[in-house]
Amino acid sequence: MQKKYAVGIDLGGTNLRVALVSRDGEIIKKIKVATTEEVLNSLSDAVDSFFSDEVAGIGIGVAGLISREEGKVLTSPNLHVIEKIDLVNEIKEKFRVPVLIENDANAAAFGEMWVGSGRKFSSFVLFTLGTGIGGGIIYRRKLLNIPAEIGHMSINADGEKCPCGNSGCLESYASGRAILSGAVSSLEKGRESLLKEYSAGNIYKLTAEDVYKAALDGDTFARELLKNAGRYLGIGFANVINIMSPEAIVLSGGLVGAWDIYVQEAIREASRRAFRELYDKVKIVPSVLMDDAGITGSAGLIFHST
Amino acid sequence: MQKKYAVGIDLGGTNLRVALVSRDGEIIKKIKVATTEEVLNSLSDAVDSFFSDEVAGIGIGVAGLISREEGKVLTSPNLHVIEKIDLVNEIKEKFRVPVLIENDANAAAFGEMWVGSGRKFSSFVLFTLGTGIGGGIIYRRKLLNIPAEIGHMSINADGEKCPCGNSGCLESYASGRAILSGAVSSLEKGRESLLKEYSAGNIYKLTAEDVYKAALDGDTFARELLKNAGRYLGIGFANVINIMSPEAIVLSGGLVGAWDIYVQEAIREASRRAFRELYDKVKIVPSVLMDDAGITGSAGLIFHST
C-alpha cells in the first residue's frame, strides 16, 4: 500500500523548517528551529518527531548549489557547515527511506506547481525575493534540473563584486540585503528618514519590512529604496522573459509583501524592456504557499520521484 | 515507406539558405540566395528546385521571435516583410507536406545536437556569434521551446538602448555589430590602426573578419576591440552557466573564427565570474556544422516531430 506522507525540509540560512506533508500536498504538521552548527542533529531530531511507517521519504531543500545525483551540497554561502556533510546518506542510513536533495528555490518552484500559484501554468519561473534572490524553473510541468541561480546573473557588467565570484549580480541590487545596505549607508551619512525612528537607535537592526512600513507611512527615502530595487528586479524579469518566455513569473519571499511599490515598479520596468510579444504573454503573480513552498515542494518531490 | 529527405531552410537577415537533408543529417544539396522583399517567392522557388515525393516535410528557421504553435513570425528585426506573411500555411498549401517554423538559433541548436558538436552532450546552450547574438537551449536531448534570446539579456542595467526595447543587451557589447561600431567610432576620431589600410578608404565597409585579421597582424587597437567584446561575451557565458549549468556551450557564427583572442578572453572572464563548481563542469566548444547548422536543424526537426 502507498505510504501516506512525506517529510519536507527547508534548510535556509537561518531557519530549519520541517513538515509532514500528505499526498495531496496538505501540511499535516510543521516545525521551525534555528539552524546551528549542529545542523545534522537538529535535522535528525526534527524528522524523528514526525517519522512513522507512513512516511514514504524525506525531501531536503537547501539554500545553495546542490548535486542531485551525488546527493551533496556543493556550496551553501550561508551555511558552510552543510558542505562537509554527506547529507543524503546520513539521513538515509538513519531513517531507511528514500531521501533526496534539491535547491531550496527549486523545491519551492515544485511546490508552487504542485499545489500553489503555479498549478494552472505549464511553464513558469519562480523568484524567491528575500535576503537574497533565488530561482526555480518549471517547463512543461517539470522542474528543470538546473541551478537557476537567477540572483547571480550579472545585470551590471562592472558592478560591485559579489561573494559568488560574479560582479553586478541582480541580488546585489534587488534583494532585501541590497535594500537594507542602501538604507544603512545613507542613514550613516545623515539622510533624514522615518527609518531612524523605526530603528530605535540601531540602524543595523532594520529589516526590509521596516523599509516597507516607512514607505507606506509616506517616507520618501524608504519609497526610493524600494522603487530603485524594484527597477532592478524588473531588469531580471525582462532577461528571464526574453530567454524563457514563461507563462508566468511567480514571486515568493518576504519582499512580496512590498508588492505595491517594489513589485509594481519591477513590472513597469519589465514592460518597458522585454520583447513586447513575450511580455504580453506573461502573468506576474504572488506565491500562495509563501514560506511553506519549500517544505511542501521538498515533500512533493518524494511523491513524484519515488 | 518512410520518405528519405526533408528540406531545411535558414531565413537569416541577408541570406536565404535552403538544403535537402537526409534522415541521417547529411546535406544532399544546398543553395544560398540573397533575401529580398519577395521572400515568399524566392523561398518557394528554392524549395521547388529540391522537391520530390521523397520529401517528408519542410522546416523553416527564421531570425526573430516565432510562434511554433501559430506557425507565425512574431517579429523579425532584419526582415520585417516576413512578419506579415502566413508563412507556414502558404508553404503547406503549395507543397502539401508538413511545414514547421522555428527560431534560427534554436534550429541550429537542434542541428548541433543531431549531427554536430552537441551529439555527445545531454544539455548544452548554443550561442550564435555573428552580426547579432542568438541562442538555443538543449536540455536532456530536447530543444526547449523557448525564445532563448540570450543576446537580449541586459548585462548593463543603464547601458545603451537596444532596438529590442531592453538596455545594455549582451548583443550591444559582444556581437560583430558591436565590434564594428566600436571600430568605426574610434577610427572616425582618428585612432591609428591597420584597419584604416584594410578599409581602403571606406571604414564603413569593414567586417568583423577584417578586425580579426588586423589583430593577427599585430594591430593593438583591433586586438583591444576583440578582447573587450570577448570580455562581455564571458559575462553572458557566466550568466548562462549560473542559471542553466549546461554540460557545454557550443559556439557558432562568423566570430568563432576569432577564437584565439575573442573567445579565449570570454572563457577567461567566465572562469572568473561563474560559480566555480558549475564552471568546472562546462565545456566550451566550437560548432562543427557552422553555417549549415540552421538548415540541418530545420530539416532535422521535421524528422523528429512528424
- Residues of B in CB contact (< 8 Å) with A are 65, 74-75, 135, 139, 144, 146-150, 152-157, 164-168, 173, 232, 235, 238-239, 242-245, 272-278
Q: Are residues A221 and A243 in the same domain?
A: yes
What stretch of H or E contains A21?
strand A15-22
Q: What is the pLDDT of residue B257?
A: 94
Looking at the 3D structure of chain B, how many domains does it have?
Answer: 2
Residues B43-66 pLDDT 10s: 999 999 999 999 999 999 999 999
Residues A131 and A107 in one domain: no
Indicate the pairing of strand B15-22 with strand B27-34: antiparallel
What pLDDT is stored for residue B13 in this prediction?
67
- What tens digit of pLDDT does each residue of B148-196 get? 999 999 999 999 999 999 999 999 999 999 999 999 999 999 999 999 9
The pLDDT assigned to A13 comes to 67
Task: For residue A74, give the CATH number of its domain.
Answer: 3.30.420.40
Q: Where are the beta strands (DSSP E) in B218-296?
A: 248-252, 283-286
* A interface residues, B as partner, C-beta within 8 Å: 65, 74-75, 135, 139, 144, 146-150, 152-157, 164-168, 173, 232, 235, 238-239, 242-245, 272-278
Write the burial class of residue B51 (CB in 10 Å: 0-12 exposed, 13-18 middle, 19+ buried).
Answer: middle
pLDDT over 60 (residue A166): yes
Please check whether residue B104 is in contact with residue B82, taking contact to mean a CB–CB distance below 8 angstroms.
no
- What per-residue confidence (pLDDT) applies to B125? 98
Q: Which residues of A touch B277 (CB under 8 A)?
A: 65, 74-75
3-state secondary structure of A132: coil
Joined together, the cell numbers standing for residue B244 give 542553466
Q: Do B223 and B282 belong to one domain?
A: yes
A210 and A94 share one domain: no
pTM: 0.97
How distant, in Å, are the alpha carbons of A8, A130, B66, B157, B164 from that of A21?
A: 7, 24, 42, 42, 45
Answer whether residue A8 shows pLDDT above 70: yes
Asked if A165 and A262 sit in the same domain, the reply is yes
pLDDT of residue B306: 47
For the range A78-85, what are the long-range contacts, defined as Cβ-Cβ under 8 Å and sequence gap of 24 or more? A78/A12, A78/A13, A78/A14, A79/A11, A79/A13, A79/A35, A79/A39, A81/A37, A81/A39, A82/A11, A82/A39, A85/A39, A85/A40
**pLDDT tens per residue, range A252-261:** 999 999 999 9
Higher pLDDT, B118 or A15: B118
Same-domain status, B99 and B198: no
Q: Are residues B163 and B260 in the same domain?
A: yes
Summarised one tens digit per residue, pLDDT across range B241-270 is 999 999 999 999 999 999 999 999 999 999
Lowest mean pLDDT among A6-15, A47-56, A283-292: A6-15
A-B Cβ pairs (cutoff 8 Å, strict): 113
What is the rounded end-to-end Cα distance, in angstroms, of chain B? 14
A70 and A12, same structural domain? yes
Q: Is the pLDDT confidence value at A306 over 60? A: no
Q: Is the pLDDT of residue B1 over 80?
A: no
Interval B135-145: pLDDT, tens: 999 999 999 99
CA–CA distance from A183 to each of A54, A196, A200, A201, A257 (Å)?
Answer: 49, 10, 15, 14, 18
DSSP letter assigned to residue A255? G
C-alpha cell at A93: 542510513
Grid look-up 527597477 returns: A231
Are B149 and A274 within 8 A, CB to CB? no
* Among candidates A74, A153, A273 on the partner chain, residue whose Cβ is nearest the Cβ of B166: A273
Give the structural domain span for A68: 5-111+291-303
First to last CA, chain A: 14
Q: Do B147 and A243 touch (CB under 8 A)?
A: yes
Express each pLDDT in B66-94 by its tens digit.
999 888 999 987 788 888 888 999 999 99
Query: Do residue A27 and residue A126 come from a single domain?
Result: no
B271 and B141 within one domain: yes
**Residues A280, A140 share a domain:** yes
The pLDDT of B31-42, averaged and rounded, is 88
- Residues A221-235 have a mean pLDDT of 98
* Domain shared by B297 and B198, yes or no: no
